[in-house]
Amino acid sequence: MTRIRKDIAKLNGPWPEELLWYARAVAAMRARPFADRTSWLYFGAIHGFDQNGWIRQNIITAGTAVPPDIEQRNVLNQCQHAGWFFLPWHRGYLAAFEALTADWIAAQGGPDDWALPYWNYLDSQNQDARKIPAEFLADKLPDGTDNPLSAASRGGLQVLGPMPRIGIPDINLDAQSIDIYTAVAPGVLGYGGPVSRFAQQGNSFGGIEANPHGPVHVMIGGVTPTFQPAGWMTDPDYAALDPVFWLHHCNIDRLWEAWLSDPANSQEVSGIWKNGPFPRQFLMPTVSGGIDVFTPGETLPGGPLAPLYDDLEDGTGIVIPAAAGEPEIAMVSSERPGGASREMKSALMGSNTESLEVGDASVSSRVGLRQTKMAEAAFASPAAVDGTHIFLNLEGVRGSVPTGALLVSLAVPSGPGGDREIIELEPVVLFGLGKASSTEGSHAGNGFTVAIDITSAVSRIQADGRTSLDALEVTVAQPKGAESPITVDRISIYRQISD
Amino acid sequence: MSRLAAFAFQLKLSPMPQLLGLSAAAFMVLGLQPASVRISSICGGVSLDYLADILILEALVRSPSALVLDWLIMVLAMMPPLLSLPVSHILRAPAKGYRIGAACLFALGYGLCWLLAGAVLVPLAFVVAAAAPFPLDTVASFAFALVWSASPSAQSARNRCHRLRRISASGLRTLRDCADQGAMTGTACVAACWPWMIVPMTVENLHLTAMAAVTIVLFAERLAPPAKPQWRSPPVWETLAGFSPV
């Protein structure tokens, strides 16, 4: 039997059969006790679980029977973020959830080919694409009973879009144009993230995780005026408790599938990626309540966890050649991360000289660009930048808020009188910052490293005739109202060199 | 099979092959060394009655430098496989021309921590060996190390072993930062591993085998991800469980 995931906007709504069955399945899973591996709470906790926080939010009580310690260590708190397992882990997670839900639906007499729908929020042909699907907002189901799809803590935003007050940028498909999966070299941006171990919160995002993944989470979850999560989607420890989480991640997964179908892109298939992390591994509940293991290699096209979608073009930024037939998957076959034929290299151009603490006021720091001979050559003339990518890196970004944001700008001299031009960069969303910064949990506390592509900004500066680019002044601020400081260990500039 | 492959590929990720090579070389040096200059040989011959005499004899009359050298080679044999993360960091963070200097200063900072730790741990090993006959001293020190590994303090120290600090891009600051990273990692490493280092020093005849066994235990502990500091089964079990498909 073939399951094909479909665009929620193209289903026969309102309240298409697929969503009605999804709602009933959610209600059935919610009725199961937490320790039951097929329960809603258990699946939410696989993504992230903060026992005290769940008690504070009345998701469970102090007396709720939780899974045994050994199972908590092995199966819960498993989501992979800010590392190169982000995409395959979430694909395996979706597959386990879909199998369980579809099994229940078929057992109740529903369709036996039920598949998770996806929310195609970046479909430019659909003017309502960015609206949270109405079925996830309605209080009641068509039969007048309570709607389990809207029973979630959310921030209140009903149409996805930028949130300038808190520094959340608009969502876009820029990541779809990154052609290499793994950021092997330091300081650059890959599609799927840098080499990492098992990392519930690793150190550096891939392009697709940075946008649209992170901003959509924060737009739906929202934040309070003091930048605490307003709703579940903003915090990885709660995000998967919201039924809309699964439709969001289904779309992220589809964006990856579309990216894979473009022969110009190089997917990671090194042995270390395909076999997954060690010693912790990726474990998911089975339909019968057992536990099964999966590897990233199994999520690739042709593997047992590879999904099928009704369309890979609308809202993905990928155009599939008409005569392509079976999509040709571009995968580098090598044991080395990043592959042998499309090697990614980088060179450090310069860095600032001190760590920064960003509180309620902005902080500026000078990044010298003439610290190495290579950097001197790279910034000697506008032509030197052509054909390369320049990245501004914020390294070792730490903070205690669950999710934070930073507003970053460049100041460059614009005239002989000392005038300066300010170039605003896209705000940085730090989904899961608190977890990544915690030193006493299951994380090393090294925070995040964020790579921002500033190639166009540098080209513009140099095209304006300011060829003597000796340094960049970088200003970092938090959105107004943020009370908790965020620290940045180092600001650096890297140049990507592709063979 | 995929679990073995997952483990094997971890060993291939740079700089792990180089670190394993360094460790193997140090083991070979120890293997070629005359047994008489080994700390374990001294431990094998002491008793409480003569402990004070032997400490003075070894420290002052015989060459103290031989003891120090033996200790440092022992550290060099056992610790490199644990250092993949910080070594990768100090090699990737600075500009290209600073990498050799960065590695040397990291080694200096890290080595100094173990040198100072040796000033306490080697005499402590003499005391342990003198207090009980072999193999009771080995069994006791092993049991203590196992309990230590299960403790919240050890977990907190292991968490700090994963910590990375700012490394400047160029200039003397880079070298200073790398030395600081070495000292930071070294301090955490000493705190996490110190009872385990006593175990092989109490074994005379199979000293290198005991060292290799403890190295594997410590490597397995370091492979386990950071965790909340609380009493738990020693993380070596968690790593061994990683070989099981479920």
DSSP sequence for A230-242: SSGGGSTTTGGGS
pLDDT band at A331 (very low <50, low <70, confident <90, very high): very low
Residue type at B77 in one-letter notation? A
What is the average pLDDT value for chain B, to the nearest integer? 88
The predicted structure's pLDDT at residue A48: 95
- Per-residue pLDDT, averaged over A197-222, amounts to 92
Structure tokens at A202: 């690793």
CATH 1.10.10.60 describes domain A8-324: no
End-to-end CA distance of chain B: give it in Å, rounded: 12
Return the CATH fold of A344-498. Answer: Jelly Rolls (2.60.120)
The predicted structure's pLDDT at residue A471: 80
Count Cβ neighbours within 10 Å for each residue of A32-44 and write b for 16 or more, e otherwise: eebebbbbbbbbb
A133 neighbors A243 (Cβ within 8 angstroms): no
Does residue A429 carry a pLDDT above 60? yes
In this structure, what are the phi and psi dihedrals at residue A320, rounded to the nearest 5 degrees? -95, 125
Q: Which residue do the tokens 């609206």 mark?
A: A131
Does residue B242 carry a pLDDT above 80? yes
Condensed to tens digits (0 to 9), the pLDDT of residues B202-217 reads 887 888 999 999 999 9
The C-alpha atoms of residue B180 and residue B110 are separated, in whole angstroms, by 9
The C-alpha atoms of residue A433 and residue A418 are separated, in whole angstroms, by 37
**CA distances in angstroms from A310 to A5, A7, A246, A316, A411, listed in the order given:** 6, 8, 17, 13, 46
End-to-end CA distance of chain A: give it in Å, rounded: 44
The predicted structure's pLDDT at residue A96: 98
A335 touches chain B (CB under 8 A): yes
pTM of the model: 0.90
The C-alpha atoms of residue B48 and residue B236 are separated, in whole angstroms, by 33
Q: Which of B29, A35, A449, B214 is nearest to B37 (CA)?
A: B29
Higher pLDDT, A121 or B42: A121
The predicted structure's pLDDT at residue A260: 96
The predicted structure's pLDDT at residue A330: 44
Q: Which of A162, A161, A173, A205 is nearest to A430 (CA)?
A: A205
Structure tokens at A497: 């060199």
- When mean pLDDT is compared across A236-245, A355-364, B51-60, the lowest value belongs to B51-60
The C-alpha atoms of residue A162 and residue B130 are separated, in whole angstroms, by 71
Query: Looking at beta carbons, which residues of chain B come within 8 Å of A197?
Result: 10, 225
Q: Is A444 helix (H, G, I), strand (E, B) or coil?
A: coil
In this structure, what are the phi and psi dihedrals at residue A162, rounded to the nearest 5 degrees? -65, 150
Verify cis geometry, omega within 30 degrees of 0, for the bond prior to A194. Answer: no
Strand partners, A394: A450, A491
Nearest CA in chain B to A272: B9
Helices (H) and strands (E) in chain B, counts: 12, 0
ipTM of the complex: 0.85
The predicted structure's pLDDT at residue A344: 72
DSSP string for residues in A144-189 = SSB-TTS-S---S--B---BGGGTBPPP-SGGGG--BSEE-STT--
Residue B158: alpha-carbon gap to chain centroid? 12
Nearest CA in chain B to A350: B169
In this structure, what are the phi and psi dihedrals at residue A472, rounded to the nearest 5 degrees? -120, 135
Query: Looking at beta carbons, which residues of chain A come within 8 Å of B225?
Result: 197-198, 280, 442
Condensed to tens digits (0 to 9), the pLDDT of residues A231-279 reads 999 999 999 999 999 999 999 999 999 999 999 999 999 999 999 999 9
* Chain B residues with a Cβ under 8 Å from any Cβ in chain A: 2-3, 5-7, 9-10, 12-13, 92-97, 156, 159-160, 162-171, 173, 223-229, 238-243, 245-246
CA torsion angle B222 B225 B231 B234 (round to 10): -40
Does residue A73 carry a pLDDT above 90? no
A80 touches chain B (CB under 8 A): no
Is the C-alpha dihedral spanning A138, A139, A141, A144 positive or negative? Answer: negative
Structure tokens at A278: 């060690």
Contact partners, residue B160, CB within 8 Å, separation at least 6: A439, B184, B187, B188, B191, B192
Does residue A140 carry a pLDDT above 80? yes
A405 neighbors A428 (Cβ within 8 angstroms): yes
The predicted structure's pLDDT at residue A147: 98
A83 touches chain B (CB under 8 A): no
Burial of A322 (0-12, 13-18, 19+ CB in 10 A): exposed
**Domains of chain A, residue spans:** 8-324, 344-498
Does residue A382 carry a pLDDT above 90? no
- When mean pLDDT is compared across A464-468, B2-6, B130-134, the lowest value belongs to A464-468
Structure tokens at A299: 């999520």
Does residue A389 carry a pLDDT above 60? yes
Percent of chain A surpassing pLDDT 90 = 67
Condensed to tens digits (0 to 9), the pLDDT of residues A175-194 reads 999 999 998 888 999 999 99
What is the average pLDDT value for chain A, to the nearest integer? 89
Radius of gyration of chain A (CA): 23
**CA distances in angstroms from A481 to A225, A228, A359, A477, listed in the order given:** 6, 10, 10, 11
pLDDT band at A368 (very low <50, low <70, confident <90, very high): confident
Which of the residues B14, B160, B170, B233 would you substitute to probe the A interface, choosing the one with the greatest number of A C-beta atoms within 10 Å? B170
Higher pLDDT, A399 or B129: A399
Contact partners, residue A85, CB within 8 Å, separation at least 6: A193, A196, A198, A199, A273, A276, A277, A282, A296
The predicted structure's pLDDT at residue B51: 57
Shortest distance between the Cα of B17 and any Cα of chain A, in A, equals 13
The C-alpha atoms of residue A252 and residue A212 are separated, in whole angstroms, by 8
The predicted structure's pLDDT at residue B185: 98
**CA distances in angstroms from B143 to A279, A316, B138, listed in the order given:** 24, 58, 8
Query: Looking at beta carbons, which residues of chain A come within 8 Å of B167?
Result: 490
Q: Which of A363, A357, A361, A362 is nearest to A400 (CA)?
A: A357
> Are A280 and B223 within 8 A, CB to CB?
no
B215 neighbors B81 (Cβ within 8 angstroms): yes
In A354-410, alpha helices (H)? 373-378, 382-385
A227 neighbors A163 (Cβ within 8 angstroms): no
